[in-house]
Amino acid sequence: MPTGVMTTPPEPARRPLSDRIPVVSHLKHSVGWQRAMLVVGLVLTGLFILVAIFAPLIAPYSYAQRTVDGHDFGTLQPPNATNLLGTTVSGFDVLSRTIWGAQTALLVIICAILFSIFIGIFVGLLSGYFGGWVDRVLVVIADAIYAFPSLLLAIVMAIVISHGQSKLWGGILAAAISITVVFVPQYFRVVRSEVLRVKAEPFVESAKVIGAPTLRILVRHVLRNSMRSVPVVVTLNASEAVLTLAGLGFLGFGIEATAAAEWGYDLSRSVQDVTSHIWWTAIPPGVAIVLVVLGITLVGESLNDLSDPRLRRRRRVKVSANDSPTDDAKGAGA
């Protein structure tokens, strides 16, 4: 190469989009049982979301409908041509209420997680970055909330907010806020611990030295690098939100039956039916809760394992132990 000729170093290769999207990147790099668990979880969660979105098109009747063409459904009718999964003690179609219940659960999950994320991340960011008496007070409050059983705390909040039961959006917001109170300390602790780690990094100190505004440091440098654990917490909390909502409905602190369909409420109404050998009112909502919680939990646990390089490395080496090491196994061990 001729002397005196300056060359610019090549720019680093930009990571493909599939490696920057959380769930897609985990699916791409998973192997063996980790991939199987993640795929099953994604399928179950995807079906739940699709059923919730298209509930008005999938459900044969409305969630509170008792008649069709002028004829009553009847109460506790076994599965038949008109009601494929029978009817409840109140005369509602079981299949329709099970499908519409997915929509109610999805709305509560979305509202609860959004409220929890915004409040928990904001409080955790301030607490971890500024420290001092603000940090001590917020940590004490978070510990105090953890001292209460989550379901009991949600019941108390539901009574305070909606006096037990309410209409659709009032009940959804009441349930979401009740669950938010339980979830905020979890996001607070996760974000606070990450902020304590990130704020000691050299690039944060450099930003302070050059006089960058505090808001820019918080958002651009600290918060941006403190979110790696949040997607895992979101998936795990989503399954807990379904169970908390079902618990509130089962105990009678949920949404009124004529305002929306809710799986926990339907289960509470079917307890007496089981003793009379009437199975069709309890099994559909119970199976729906189990499948949704199972799907979301599988996604959350898989993301948690794949986010830990030690767990990912061990599983990859185990898969390729009988053969020559693959490129992925070599890369994981590097």
How far is the C-alpha of 186 from the C-alpha of 115, rounded, in Å?
Answer: 13
Angle, helices 309-319 vs 32-53, to 10°: value is 120
Most confidently modeled of 9-23, 52-66, 175-189, 311-325? 52-66
Q: SS in 3 state form for 293-310?
A: HHHHHHHHHHHHHHCCHH
CB-neighbour burial class of residue 310 (10 A; exposed 0-12, middle 13-18, buried 19+) = exposed
Which range has the worst mean pLDDT, 1-5, 75-79, 136-140, 282-286?
1-5
Predicted confidence (pLDDT) per residue in 38-85, tens digit? 888 899 999 999 999 999 999 999 888 888 887 888 888 888 888 888
Q: What's the whole-number mean pLDDT along residues 88-111? A: 91
Q: Which two tokens stand for residue 296?
A: 């979301």
Cα 275-278-283 angle, rounded to 5 deg: 100
* Confidence (pTM): 0.78
Residues 6+ apart with CB under 8 A from 316: 31, 32, 326, 328, 329, 332
